[in-house]
Structure formats: structure tokens, C-alpha cells
Structure 1
């Protein structure tokens, strides 16, 4: 499933452009800019499944690094610092990965 079938392509591009510089990524602003924050829980789960590249039911740290590429092929990789901050913000149970419920809660924050 393509992210553009869930979210507006122009919104995705604007959000990626806004965080094009290394160490500028802010998940709260990003989710708001791409329009994910205002989407239904079902749509948020669809986005989760796209980002869960290995279909494990979790977004692990290695997948988080490439999260922007999940929104568009030309998205940049997150830095290690951004990846760790993103994981820390979402991983409420401390298991080192993000489940669908944790992702949904993070998006709606």
C-alpha cells in the first residue's frame, strides 16, 4: 500500500521538506504536517503497516531510521540521535520497539 493512498502527496512533500536537515526531525510536527494526526485510528494503523517493513507487528529501531522513506522514496534517513529520540518517545513499555498501539498513541499526542 502506498502512503499516498492514505495521505495527501503535497502534505507529505511539505513535511519532508520541512525536516530535510539532519537533526531537525520532530515527530509531533511531522505527523501534524502530513495530516496523520487528524486521520482515523484505522488510517493510522494502515500507516503503521507501511512503516513496519518486515511485517513483524512492530517498528524496530532499524526500521525507524528509514521512517521518512516510508512516506516518500526521496525522504532522508533519520540520524542516530533522531532515531533514538523517536523510539524513546513512542516506546512506552520499554521493549525497544514500537507496537501499533504505541504508534497510534504517539500520533494522537
Structure 2
């Protein structure tokens, strides 16, 4: 499933452009710019499913590095610093990965 079937392509482009520079990623602003905060749980779950590249039911740290590429193929990789900060913000149960409930909660923050 393509992100463009869930989110507005102009919003995706603007959000990716806003965080094109390394160490500039802010998940709260990113989700807001995408319009993801206003989406239903089912729509957020669809986004989660696209980002869960290995279909494990979780977004692991390795997958987080490539999260922007999940929105558009030309998205940049997150730096290690950005990846760790993103994981820390979302991983509420401390298991080192992000479940769908944790992801949905992070999006709605």
C-alpha cells in the first residue's frame, strides 16, 4: 500500500522537505505536517503497517532509520541520533521496538 492512498501527496512532500537536513527530524511536527494527527486509528494503523517493513507487528530501530523512505522513496535516512530519539519517544514499554498502539499514541501526542 502506498502512503499516497492514505495521506495527501502534497503534505508528504512538504513534510519531507521540511526535515531534509540531517538532525532536523521532529516526529511531532512531521506527523502534524502530514495530517496524520487528524486521521482515524485505522488510518494510522495502515501507515504503521507500511512502515513495518518486515511485517513483524513492530517497528524496530533498524526500520526507524528508513521511516522517511516509507513516505516517499526519495526520503532521507534518519541519523542514529534521530533514530534513537524517535524510538525513545515512542517505546513506552521499553522493549526496544514500537508496537501499533505505541505508534498511534505517539502520532496523537
Displaced runs of 4 or more, over 4 A: none
**d(CA) in 2 for partners of 1:28, 1:6:** 18
Task: Find the aligned partners of 1:37 and 1:31 in 2 and give their Cα distance.
Answer: 6
CA root-mean-square deviation: 0.2
Secondary structure of the corresponding residue to residue 92 of structure 1: coil
TM-score normalised to structure 1 length: 1.00
- Which 5+ residue runs of structure 2 have no aligned equivalent? none
- Secondary structure of 2:36's aligned partner: coil
Count of residue pairs the alignment pairs up: 109
SS at match of 1:21: coil
Q: How much does 1:32 deviate? A: 0.3
SS class of match (2:39): coil
Could you list the runs of 5+ residues in structure 1 that have no partner in the other structure? none
Q: Secondary structure at the match of 2:54?
A: coil
Instruction: Report the Cα offset of residue 29 of structure 1.
Output: 0.1
The alpha-carbon deviation at position 19 of structure 1 amounts to 0.1
CA offsets per residue over residues 50-100 of structure 1, 9 Å max, x none? 000000000000000000000000000000000000000000000000000
1:16 offset after TM fit, Å? 0.1
Distance in 1, Cα, partners of 2:28 & 2:41: 16
